[in-house]
Amino acid sequence: MELRQLYYFVKVASREHVTRAAEELHVAQSAVSRQIHQLEEELGVKLFVQKGRNLQLTPVGQLFLKRAESIITDLERAIIEIHEFMDPDHGEIRIGFPHSLGTHLIPKVVAMFRKAHPNVRFRFKQGMYPSLIRDVMDGEVDLAFISPLPENQGQLCGQVVLTEKLYAVLPHGHSLAEELSIELSQLKDDPFVLFREGYSLRPIVWDACLEAGFTPNIAFEGEETDTIRGLVAAGMGVTLLPEMAVYHSGPMQPVKVEVRSPEITREIGLIHRSNHKLPLVAKVFHQYLLDYFAERRP
């Protein structure tokens, strides 16, 4: 079976006439008839029956048409994807990231990149630490921001691009809200609002509290940075967040206070599959990100 036969078959099926199909295909009518006949012989079925001056699909022809159209559509899409793969100014970049980066960092770097590459499309996927690793390994995304950088992952490669300091986030009216800096141990009696299990910020906050000499009393758990920040602003507890996660405007805003002891940071890595070549447009974006963070590194 040849691809040309499928093209001819789909065209005849859409026009219900060999002559009109041949005219649109710019080939001889006899060439179209011959290809349809060979296709029917190979399949061992009749795909068309004569109805007046037109051709009508048989039931099995209607079934085959759906598959043939799907094959042609997939092939055409693959050709487009190949061209986009080799073109740094077109195509689609699929990027994954944790929720805490979605408020400020991701919109900022994407907007700056698209000033130079306005025709590039982006597909975003937010997720927790395990799902981001899985998405990269399964090829669901080209690149992913992740914290911490995974160790001993042979199928992944990447590097730390950003180290962020975490701040105490307190409601207005808290006794420490006016301080320039505090020690984390000063919050040992406060209820904490934390991300639930599976989010990378949770163990960072938990371990910092243990280092400060106490186990945090968890009052509420959430999945979104906005939810965590909003609960703190509403007086439901305190938390620790990186600066970019507190970057927000609106009526419900908590207070950000520096923690002088212990020093609390998180590392953000940028990863991709080590055994697969990135599409050219994703490769260009990857280098752009490395340069962007290198220029801003203290």
Residues of the chain with CATH 3.40.190.290: 162-266
Q: What is the C-alpha to C-alpha distance for residues 85 and 179, in angstroms, rounded to an integer? A: 52
Which segments of the chain belong to CATH 3.40.190.10?
Answer: 92-161+268-296
Q: Which CATH number fits domain 3-85: 2.120.10.70, 3.10.180.10, 3.30.565.10, 1.10.10.10?
A: 1.10.10.10
pLDDT of residue 248: 65
Nearest CA to 170 among 223, 104, 224, 236? 236
pLDDT per residue, tens digit, the chain (298 aa), is 788 888 888 888 888 888 888 888 889 989 888 988 998 898 898 988 888 888 889 999 899 998 888 888 888 777 777 766 677 787 889 999 998 898 889 999 999 999 999 999 999 999 999 999 999 998 899 999 999 998 877 789 999 999 999 999 999 999 999 999 999 999 999 999 999 998 889 999 999 999 999 999 999 999 888 899 999 999 999 999 998 888 665 667 899 999 999 999 999 999 999 988 888 889 899 999 999 999 988 7
pTM over 0.75: no
Q: Is 93 exposed, middle or buried (0-12, 13-18, 19+ CB in 10 A)?
A: buried
Pairing of strands 255-261, 143-146: unpaired
Q: How many CB atoms lie within 10 A of CB 171?
A: 20
Class of domain 162-266: alpha beta
Instruction: Please check whether residue 42 is in contact with residue 48, taking contact to mean a CB–CB distance below 8 angstroms.
Output: no
CB neighbours of 169 closer than 8 A, spacing ≥ 6?
229, 232, 238, 239, 240, 241, 246, 254, 255, 256, 257
Question: Given this model, what pLDDT does residue 146 score?
Answer: 95
Selected from 3.20.20.140, 2.40.50.180, 3.40.190.10, 2.40.50.140, the CATH number assigned to the domain covering 92-161+268-296 reads 3.40.190.10
- Res 251: pLDDT: 66
